């Protein structure tokens, strides 16, 4: 957020979410969570079985964005579920960071029964929530896990295999797209590519400034 005009930032925060009436309390992850629960920006709002705003530290230096929220993940209360969740935590620990010290969220916050891969409209509808989460957490680096996450964060339709392995920028935030841990469970040969990407993230986190 701008240090010179915080009121302007607050107004833009809510305008981006389609809010027309508000009080001027500073935005927070808590107010954003309430807004997600009341959101009607896409068709998921009429049939969602639940939502998960995020998991982890609200002051994280490192933020991960996963794909859509699955039924299993919703039940577990984690953005990623099962073996993929275990693998993601191992990846985080491998760069000497406690998983509880990162912030992890989903590109699409809600889940509905029978939900398939999210549509481009659902991704776009949820994108303002994600962008404002990034601003509120204010991480040093963002990692986009998989094609849906990269599409949401970077507003791209390129294949994850084509864009992973180098940094892009969302305003001032460096973004590293890489494969989702679920993909690695089925394609273990790609673990080396993800390790290459995560080492670059570790180096960026270690830089001053």
Please give the Cα distance from 141 to 173 (Å, whole number).
Answer: 6
Looking at residue 33, its pLDDT comes to: 80
Please give the Cα distance from 109 to 114 (Å, whole number).
Answer: 15
Looking at residue 120, its pLDDT comes to: 86
24 three-state secondary structure: coil
- Residue-wise pLDDT tens for the chain (209 aa)? 555 666 677 677 777 776 665 555 667 788 778 888 788 878 777 777 778 888 999 999 999 999 888 888 888 888 999 999 999 999 999 999 999 999 999 998 887 776 667 888 888 888 998 999 999 999 999 999 999 999 999 999 999 999 999 999 999 999 999 999 999 999 999 999 999 999 999 999 997 54
Q: Are strands 173-178 and 168-170 parallel, antiparallel or unpaired?
A: antiparallel
Looking at residue 209, its pLDDT comes to: 47
Neighbours of 191 (CB within 10 A): 15
Looking at residue 17, its pLDDT comes to: 72
Please calculate the CA angle 108-110-112 and round it to the nearest 5 degrees. 120
Name the residue with tokens 């994108």.
127
Looking at residue 5, its pLDDT comes to: 65
Torsion over CA: 111, 63, 157, 179 (sign): negative
CB burial of 110-140 (b: ≥16 within 10 Å; e: otherwise) equals bbbeebeebeeebbebbbbbbbbbbbbbebb
Q: Are 56 and 78 in contact (CB under 8 A)?
A: no
Name the residue with tokens 């491998």.
94
Instruction: Report pTM.
Output: 0.84
Looking at residue 108, its pLDDT comes to: 87
- End-to-end Cα spacing for the chain: 17
């Amino acid at each position: 957020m701008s240090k010179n005009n915080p009121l302007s930032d607050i107004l833009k925060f809510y305008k981006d979410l389609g809010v027309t009436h508000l009080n001027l309390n500073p935005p927070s992850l808590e107010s954003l969570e309430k807004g997600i629960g009341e959101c009607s920006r896409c068709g998921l709002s009429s049939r969602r079985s639940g939502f998960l705003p995020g998991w982890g530290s609200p002051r994280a230096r490192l933020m991960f964005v996963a794909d859509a929220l699955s039924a299993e993940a919703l039940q577990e209360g984690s953005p990623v579920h099962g073996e993929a969740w275990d693998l993601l935590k191992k990846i985080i620990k491998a760069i000497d960071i406690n998983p509880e010290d990162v912030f992890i969220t989903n590109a699409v916050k809600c889940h509905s029964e029978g939900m398939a891969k999210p549509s481009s409209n659902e991704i776009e509808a949820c994108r303002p929530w994600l962008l404002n989460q990034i601003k509120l957490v204010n991480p040093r680096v963002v990692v986009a896990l998989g094609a849906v996450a990269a599409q949401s964060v970077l507003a791209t339709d390129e294949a994850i295999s084509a864009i992973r392995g180098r940094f892009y920028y969302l305003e001032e935030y460096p973004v590293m797209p890489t494969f989702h841990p679920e993909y690695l469970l089925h394609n273990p040969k790609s673990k080396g590519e993800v390790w290459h990407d995560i080492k670059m993230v570790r180096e960026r986190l270690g830089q001053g400034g």
